[in-house]
Amino acid sequence: MLTERQLCILEKIINLYTSHGQPVGSKRLVEEPEIQSSSATVRNEMSLLEELGLIEKTHLSSGRVPSLKGYRFYIDHILHPNELKKDQFQSRSLEREIGQNFEVMDELIQQSAVVLSKLTNFTAIVLGPETSQSRLTGLRLVPLNDGQVMVILITDQGSVENMIFSIPRSVSSTDLEKMVKLFNDQLVGFTLFEVVYKLQNEMPLLIKQYATTTDQILGQFEQVFLQTQNNRFHISGKSNLLDLTSNMDIQKVKSLLDLMENQMSLTSLLSGSKESISVRIGEELDNELFANLSLVTARYSLSDHGEGILAVVGPTSMPYDKTIHLLNTFRHELPELLLKYYLTE
């Protein structure tokens, strides 16, 4: 176990490094009022912390920099989670920051990503609430031109999805009408998860009884439902990544920017942790592109209406305390706002 003084020194090193970006030396540390000892003592303690792998030198005679293990220790043992309660950001309410006029839930979510990236100066990713647990409250089918139909899904979460698809000429319009009626009878009230299951198993048999020409179309309907799982991503502040990648070679920065536009990659990145707030640092993310980046994610929950994710991508040397505080505020306030405007059951 570390002594009080060692903890204090580690914390100071991390605070100074994350705020100024320069390796921290013993001389700099004794300027801190909390540290009473002489620089020689501090040096002794530092070489001990280095032996433990919590800090490291950039070269033989440089100041110290926190190691991955050091950050990990800091987050797990120094940043006590109970400090999260007295949160200085709680005061600047999310609601005041983002205004109040939103036609659809997605706008509000997008806007909270914008605020999150503005407040951190990093890249913010916000995932709308998972829809597979939300219930279908309505299904509309709007004929457009010849052969094109828009399907609209309405859920109890206030989300509205729409998709346009083509209908083979072989499908008669009466068959289509029958199908829609059937869908409304059979699917409304179930969760999207269940709906997809029914589409794959029960519906084909049922439909056979009513109509004959609909085989090809059923798969397309299924796609619409699966589609609702995507389009949950809202990103803001992508260009802030450039501040963090000045040492990286251009090809990698390009890959990183491209990754931010690829929902598949983002999903696997964000789905890594199940905790309410998680911090993954550099190599822990197991992705070469994130060697010098950290990902802080927070889950928010709309009670029975599924979960969403808030995330910030910043440098490994980010101010974790501030970021965690901020995400903790958002994960409480965003669901409140969403419930207030859209989920008035």
Partner DNA sequence: TTTAGCACTCGCTACCCTTGAGTGCCAACA
Partner DNA sequence: TGTTGGCACTCAAGGGTAGCGAGTGCTAAA
- The footprint of DNA (CB under 7 A) covers 22-28, 36-41, 43-44, 46-47, 50, 57-64
Among residues 36, 239, 268, 271, the one that binds its own copies under rule CB under 8 A: 239
Find tokens 């829609």 and name the residue.
Answer: 180
Among residues 44, 47, 166, 212, the one that binds its own copies under rule CB under 8 A: 166
Dihedral sign computed on CA atoms, order 27, 33, 37, 42: negative
Residue 240 as a binder of its own copies (CB under 8 A): the answer is yes
Among residues 145, 201, 209, 247, the one that binds its own copies under rule CB under 8 A: 145
Phi, psi of 310, rounded to the nearest 5 degrees: -110, 140
Q: For residues 48 and 7, what is the distance between their CA atoms, to the nearest angstrom?
A: 12
> Are residues 175 and 212 in contact, defined by beta-carbon separation less than 8 angstroms?
yes
Segment near its own copies (CB under 8 A); pick from 38-46, 128-136, 246-254, 286-294: 246-254
Among residues 41, 162, 265, 276, the one that binds its own copies under rule CB under 8 A: 162
Closer residue to its own copies, CB minimum distance, 186 or 240: 240
* Positions 41 through 80 that interact with its own copies (CB under 8 A): none
Phi, psi of 305, rounded to the nearest 5 degrees: -95, 20
C-alpha 255: how far from chain center? 19
CA angle 260, 127, 19 (to 5 degrees): 65
Residue/partner pairs of 229-232 with CB below 8 Å, 24 or more apart: 229/130, 229/131, 229/132, 230/263, 231/128, 231/161, 232/127, 232/128, 232/129, 232/130, 232/131, 232/308
Residue 67 CB, nearest approach to DNA (Å): 14
> How many residues belong to the site for its own copies (CB under 8 A)?
32
Residue 242 as a binder of its own copies (CB under 8 A): the answer is yes
Residue 129 CB, nearest approach to its own copies (Å): 16
Task: Map residues 248-277 to x or -, x wherever contact with its own copies holds by CB under 8 A.
Answer: --x--xxx-xx--x----------------
CA angle 320, 310, 260 (to 5 degrees): 95
Residue 246 as a binder of its own copies (CB under 8 A): the answer is yes
Task: Report what 83 binds from DNA, its own copies, none; CB cut-off 5-8 Å by kind.
Answer: none
Q: For residues 293 and 238, what is the distance between their CA atoms, to the nearest angstrom?
A: 14
Closer residue to its own copies, CB minimum distance, 126 or 154: 154
Task: Report what 226 binds from DNA, its own copies, none; CB cut-off 5-8 Å by kind.
Answer: none
Q: Is 103 exposed, middle or buried (0-12, 13-18, 19+ CB in 10 A)?
A: exposed
Residue 226 as a binder of its own copies (CB under 8 A): the answer is no
Provide the token pair at 54: 């919590």
Q: For residues 119 and 121, what is the distance between their CA atoms, to the nearest angstrom?
A: 6
Closer residue to its own copies, CB minimum distance, 40 or 142: 142
Closer residue to its own copies, CB minimum distance, 231 or 255: 255
> Are residues 188 and 171 in contact, defined by beta-carbon separation less than 8 angstroms?
no
Residue 243 as a binder of its own copies (CB under 8 A): the answer is yes
* Positions 100 through 129 that interact with its own copies (CB under 8 A): 103-104
Q: Which residues make up the interface to its own copies (CB under 8 A)?
A: 103-104, 137-138, 140, 142, 144-145, 148, 150, 152, 154, 158, 160, 162-166, 238-240, 242-243, 246, 250, 253-255, 257-258, 261
